[in-house]
Chains A and B, each alone.
Chain A
């Protein structure tokens, strides 16, 4: 365990935040409930990172506790974006070495909508171990060889899951799923998101829903799949290249030397974010850029709700 830097969701001002685990806060770890505020990219692709100049070998690998299904669902996008033809060795190292212990959701946030985008509030893949709180213990699911190895030699605290426990787990999962479905009843539609968005290039919805946007970029920065970045060459003691989170909502995002930009108006940038999530990323990586985590709704200064925008597009 000393091998890892452990991060786990902990309560603070009514929210859940990924915090380093130290001796005296182990008791405050919240395994279940709902996703934490920070997405995993915060740690795998930090907001400002040295991509040239840093000695990444010196970093301790992460051990994440209490990651939810919507967090795991975002990783294949980052893996494809930062793997593939030009693998980012820093991301790859952090990703390969980090150990993920996920957990079922039990008390989804009001903004959660994983069930609308093909997800479910409990992890089914992408974890090393999954812990589901049942009664006074955990049902542990092994998701990788590393997960299996970690459990080896701990037989004194492990026992086979009995039928009653399996039934209780299933019941709990169904209940949480129902809860998410229920709170999103008004936002549900049958049409595929891809068609809803790409069939609506011209729509008053873009202008109407972006009216209250203040271009803060919170929707991008909070999102577990958004990964646009800028690069910056700076001279510290020696020369370094920094990579920082960018936001496609910023007016300067795509401005070139002549001052031109393909999306000068705010509603165009707003629309682009939806097109990116439900068309472009689907074309690039075969999956939507939205896992339904609700962070962009929660963090929006303009109280913009993606679910409502999508629903209004369907109505058109």
Chain B
């Protein structure tokens, strides 16, 4: 029984670089021992050997399989150990898991990304994929919200993104150097005019933000089938067995993490 047919077995990956993003968020550039191809929007189970394992979205371009990036917030047991690691250290990785974004659905459309906080990692992968075939999409609009200017991730890429896509940013609490909007991320939707008949919206972020983001999009006139949500729940296996991540009968890890609001709208408690 080799690791390739044991779904619980991780392969080794070397941390090549650690990029500090904010006081609690770091981007880890890792190189898996034997490559790792994935589709944008999928995720992996990363492990700190002997400590624990947790699901994280890849934040690097999906057309690069030899080197991956993960942008990870320090929130608890496993992530704090990960944050204490150094370049050259070894982590475990298994996957990729989940369905990823249905890029075909977005062809010819105005794609609006409504992103909050640490929801940016999978969104960045999506942006890379969209830019990779830029002429296939009518517009690419990113509305990003963070708590404070310090909490903005990928600050070093903001100017580059601004040249390539329509970028709107907001923070809940601005400081005197902040030149963008202030307020929760949904305020940005008042600034963007989209062709509702030909647009798809993608929502990723903390549960509350996703809830109010989705409601705002509905209010603006989006159809539930045109709103794409990348969902998060407690998860152990990532492979549709342990049943922790279920929303009704859906496995977020296998049937998701990307769902349309149409698929989920009739289930209670989807935002918790």
A contacts, CB < 8 Å to B? 51-52, 56-57, 81-82, 84-90, 201, 227-235, 239, 241, 243, 246, 248, 253-258, 260-264, 275-276, 279-280, 283-284
Contact of A229 with B6 at beta-carbon distance under 8 Å, contacts A280-B248, A283-B249 already known? no
Measured between C-beta atoms, what is the minimum distance from A96 to chain B in Å?
13
Q: Which residue of A lies closest to B246 (CB)?
A: A280
Which of A56, A57, A229 lies in contact with B242, CB distance below 8 A? A229
Identify the stretch in B140-148, B177-185, B228-236, B256-264 within 8 Å (CB) of chain A at 4 or more residues: B228-236
Query: How near does chain A come to B197, taking the closest CB pair, in angstroms?
Result: 33
In the complex, residue of chain B having the shortest beta-carbon distance to the beta carbon of A82: B241
B233:A254 contact, CB within 8 angstroms:
yes
CB distance B242 to A233 under 8 Å? no
Question: Shortest beta-carbon distance, A34 to chain B, in Å?
Answer: 29
Q: Is B221 at the interface (CB under 8 A from chain A)? A: no
B75 CB contact (under 8 Å) in A87, A239, A257: A257
Q: List 23 A-B contacts (CB under 8 A).
A: A51-B8, A52-B8, A84-B240, A87-B7, A88-B8, A227-B241, A228-B243, A231-B236, A231-B237, A233-B47, A233-B48, A241-B53, A246-B244, A248-B243, A253-B244, A256-B233, A256-B234, A257-B76, A260-B207, A260-B272, A263-B269, A276-B246, A279-B248
Provided the pairs A85-B240, A85-B254, A246-B244 are in contact, do residues A52 and B52 lie with their beta carbons within 8 angstroms? Answer: no
Chain B residues within 8 Å of A229, by CB: 236-237, 241-242
**Interfacial chain A residues near B269, Cβ < 8 Å:** 262-263
CA distance A283 to B250 in the complex (A): 9
Q: How far is the CB of B228 from chain A (nearest CB, A)?
A: 20
List the 8 closest A-B pairs by CB distance, nearest first: A235-B50, A283-B249, A86-B239, A257-B75, A86-B7, A51-B8, A280-B249, A262-B272
Q: Does B49 contact A (CB under 8 A)?
A: yes
Asked if B79 is at the interface (CB within 8 A of a chain A CB), the reply is yes
For residue B84, CB closer than 8 A to chain A, the reply is no
Give me 16 other A-B pairs in contact (C-beta within 8 A), A52-B6, A86-B240 excluded. Answer: A52-B8, A81-B240, A89-B1, A229-B236, A229-B241, A231-B237, A233-B48, A233-B51, A239-B49, A253-B234, A253-B244, A257-B75, A257-B76, A257-B79, A262-B233, A262-B247
Residues of B within 8 A of A81 (CB): 240-241
Across the interface, which residues of B come within 8 angstroms of A246, CB to CB? 242, 244
A53 to chain B, nearest CB (A): 9
Chain A proximity mask over B4-29: 1 for CB below 8 Å, otherwise 0: 01111110000000000000000000
Q: Known: A85-B239, A283-B249. Is A256-B50 also a contact (CB below 8 A)? A: no
Give bound CA distance, A171 to B92, whole Å: 60
Contact call B249/A228, Cβ cutoff below 8 A? no
**Which residues of the other chain, B, contact A84 by a CB distance below 8 angstroms?**
240
Q: How far is the CA of A201 from the CA of B144 in the complex (A)?
A: 36
A90 / chain B contacts, CB cutoff of 8 Å: 6
With contacts A52-B8, A254-B244, A255-B234 taken as known, whether A239 is within 8 angstroms of B50 at the C-beta atoms is yes
User: In the assembled complex, which residues on chain A have CB atoms less than 8 Å from the CB atom of B53?
Assistant: 231, 233, 241
The reply to whether A254 and B234 contact each other, CB–CB distance below 8 Å, is yes
B236, B239, B247: which contacts A230 (Cβ < 8 A)? B236
